[in-house]
Amino acid sequence: MEKVKKPKRPQQVYTLLIEVGRKAGDGLPKGATGAGLVIYASGVDEAEAVRESVLILKQADLAPLDVTGYGTLQERLDQGHEVPEEERELMARALAENSVIVAQMVPFFGEDRPEPFLH
């Protein structure tokens, strides 16, 4: 019996906003209660991009608490997001390297939870 090969799904890059809490050795500034990270991650789907990103953050001694997905570049454009060239370059790099790129980290202090800057 021949094994049927599944068609290979192409990698895409997803924009994720991941909130992290505090953990010993996390490298966040003194007094910070956590942080928000804008991440560009490659994957065959958003679930894979989330899994890979969370795994890498945990390996970096960060404590992921919540993930919000903003989709692919095309999905963001369809939602009316302005995506500047520097973001597009980071997305292209994530795709070329099949990697997870932390584009921005905004520490939280106290109860204040500012959103990292997404266009």
Mean pLDDT of the chain: 90
Q: Provide the whole-model pTM.
A: 0.85
Q: How confident is the model at residue 7 (pLDDT cuts 50, 70, 90)?
A: confident
Structure-block tokens of residue 6 = 């599944």
pLDDT for position 117: 57
pLDDT for position 114: 60
- Residue 63 burial by Cβ neighbours in a 10 Å radius (0-12, 13-18, 19+): middle
Q: Are 13 and 72 in contact (CB under 8 A)?
A: yes
